[in-house]
Amino acid sequence: MADATYGSLKVEVQMRGESIASRVERWSFGSVIGLLSAAAIVLLVAPTLIVIIVSFTSGMSLRFPPPGYSLRWYEALFTNSPDLWRAAKLSFQVAALATAISTVLAVSAALAIARRPVLWARFLDSVFMSPLMLPTLALGLGLLVWFNLFGSGVSMTTLVIGHVAITSPYILRTTCASLSQLDGVLLESAKSLGAGPLFTFRTVTLPVIFPGIAAGAFIAFMMSFDNVAISLFLSDARSEVLPIRLWNIIESNLDVRAAAVSGVLIAVTTVLVILMERVFGVSRHVR
Amino acid sequence: MSGTLAVPAGRLPPDAGASSGSLASRLLSDWQLVLPLGLFFLAFVFGPLALLGYVSLHTNVSLEEVTLAQYTKFLFDDFNLGVLGATLWLGLKVTVLTLLIGYPLAYLYSVARPFWQKLLILLIVLPLLTSAVVRTFAWLVILGRQGIVNETLLALGLLEMPAKLLYTPTAVVVALAQIELPLMVLPIITVLASIDPNLRQASQSLGAGSWRTFFQVILPLSAPGVLAGCLLVYASSVSAFVTQTLVGGGRQMFMPFYIYQQAIQANNYPFAAAIAMILLFSVLGIVVLVNLLARRVRVLSHG
């Protein structure tokens, strides 16, 4: 009680003691930060909102604001767009397979890398993270030449392999981060209480790192589902993934169906992100 | 901080992991755990990239004589050098713009109340996980002839005819800035969260105003996050094939589209490989250089 009174008194003294110059400075700093942040937020949010609004247009073009509103382009998705559904199905399959494989590979590697501050572990870590920094298109072209050289050509398998290369860094990163939170004392006590390595892993390690793995797998899935640079080189004419189909639609005739597909993708992504945020705290793992 | 630090790098006793008590150590050795991903990377990341480098040293795909012809062809041609320059310059412009608006956003996050923090982080992470094709498509709607910008300017009487906004260099920079912004904001948020809030109060109670506190205390301490964000944004924007192509149009050529065009449309694999190698080593070179510079600055500033 006394503390609180003292605190508010102190604040008052400070406020009264604040010179005009420092008040101007504080105000100018706050407004510059506020304005630039506002610009950033508008830049982040506006494009998505505009696509959603346009997707409900009743017109034949992407005019904004739309001349009227209707669900016709969403109906078109369900009535005469087998190409888009086929592409979406393939994208889903590739992303699911790539995520499953890269989860196994990356979690296994993370278990060895994360708890070792030694040089080789740090070296391996940066090696496995390199696909995030390298131009993906170069990797796609390299893989295409590679598969042609070994005579296998491109197929669903090669597509999945290419996607594993770019998705495993995300899972490695989130799993390593979760493992670094794991308290060594927990493992020691499990061991001294007579728990075997597999039992310890299942009952101590896994529950602690599972949110990290799940968040990583989710990010990996989304990145694979969205990938163009690898798929461009590794899919044949018959197997077109969704982002490439969408890209072709946008580049050829700017069909308004592209807006409806975008609307669906935005809605699904938003729901999934909010869900994953609630359950696993995805945002903590992307930092 | 168990015995692991004492293990010398390079040589590892077979059961070294046992001290940390991980599953790894006792069921499978560390090498066995790393091996699958390691082999995968050798076979499907570094193998293909090495092959790409090898192909770039030849005149055709029969791979007969080794020559630097593709590289001299690239480096002694003004058009090619222009494409390389435009790509690296684009990356720089995007990095500066994302830093200019991304840093304040990260700062705002760091001083916001928990409720607003949750909302802000959602606004930042959502675009990151939303399809880049979709987000690029949004710019076609915004900047198109009948887009919101043109319609607004026409309605205000500032324009008589719709202006050509798409397929301009500025359009590519703005669209890419939007795509890459989360990559800049997230590392800065992380580093700002690790700064002791007492430092800000100490600086201010010693008489430094908001601006001085920011430039002399907060900004220097957040340098590692700024560096990480800049490198991520730079590397990602120079190779952002989809956005560069859709918003830039056919008139502006950047390296990723050049690779694609030479490989798929012109069927000139050795030249495409050489362009890919040049892009790869330019990005790698810049990342290494910036890291070295940063280390030098850090050493100097710490005496």
* pLDDT reported for residue A32: 93
pLDDT beyond 80 at B28: no
- pTM confidence score: 0.87
Task: Check if A274 contacts B (Cβ < 8 Å).
Answer: yes
Contact, A78 vs A143, CB < 8 A? Answer: no
CA distance B47 to B250: 32
* pLDDT reported for residue A16: 52
Which residues on chain B are in Cβ contact (under 8 Å) with A161?
A: 44
Q: Is there a contact between B122 and A259 if contact means CB atoms under 8 Å apart? A: no
- Residues B204-226, mean pLDDT to the nearest whole number: 86
Contact, B242 vs B216, CB < 8 A? Answer: no
pLDDT beyond 90 at B1: no
Give the pLDDT means over successive 10-residue stretches in chain A (287 positions): 48 58 85 94 92 90 84 87 91 96 94 78 86 90 92 86 95 89 81 83 87 93 93 84 90 83 94 91 75
* pLDDT reported for residue B116: 94
* Other CB atoms within 10 Å distance of the CB of residue A29: 17
Q: Is there a contact between B137 and A232 if contact means CB atoms under 8 Å apart? A: no
Contact, A89 vs A133, CB < 8 A? Answer: no
* pLDDT reported for residue B225: 92
Contact, B241 vs B258, CB < 8 A? Answer: no
Interface test with A, best of B20, B90, B130, B214 (most A CBs within 10 A): B130
For A197, the closest of B23, B130, B189 (CB atoms) is B23
* pLDDT reported for residue A285: 75
Contact residues for B18 (Cβ-Cβ < 8 A; gap 6+): B25, B26
Which residues on chain A are in Cβ contact (under 8 Å) with B235?
A: 132-135
For B177, the closest of A43, A137, A222 (CB atoms) is A43
Count Cβ–Cβ pairs < 8 Å, chain A vs chain B: 321
Distance from the Cα of residue A11 to its chain's centroid: 44
Interface test with A, best of B97, B131, B185 (most A CBs within 10 A): B131
* pLDDT reported for residue B32: 85
The residue in chain B having the minimum alpha-carbon distance to the alpha carbon of residue A140 is: B48
Torsion of CA A70, A72, A75, A77, to 10 degrees: -120
Q: Is there a contact between B130 and A29 if contact means CB atoms under 8 Å apart? A: no
Contact, B187 vs B225, CB < 8 A? Answer: yes
* pLDDT reported for residue A18: 64
* pLDDT reported for residue A14: 53
Which residues on chain B are in Cβ contact (under 8 Å) with A34?
A: 104, 108
What confidence tier does B109 reach under pLDDT thresholds 50, 70, 90? Answer: very high
Task: Check if A197 contacts B (Cβ < 8 Å).
Answer: yes
Task: For chain A, positions 82-121, list CB contacts with chain B under 8 A.
Answer: 104-106, 108-109, 111-113, 115-120
Complex-level ipTM beyond the 0.90 threshold: no
Contact, A77 vs A260, CB < 8 A? Answer: yes
Q: Provide the residue count of chain B.
A: 303
- Residues B119-145, mean pLDDT to the nearest whole number: 90
Which residues on chain B are in Cβ contact (under 8 Å) with A146?
A: 44, 47-48, 51
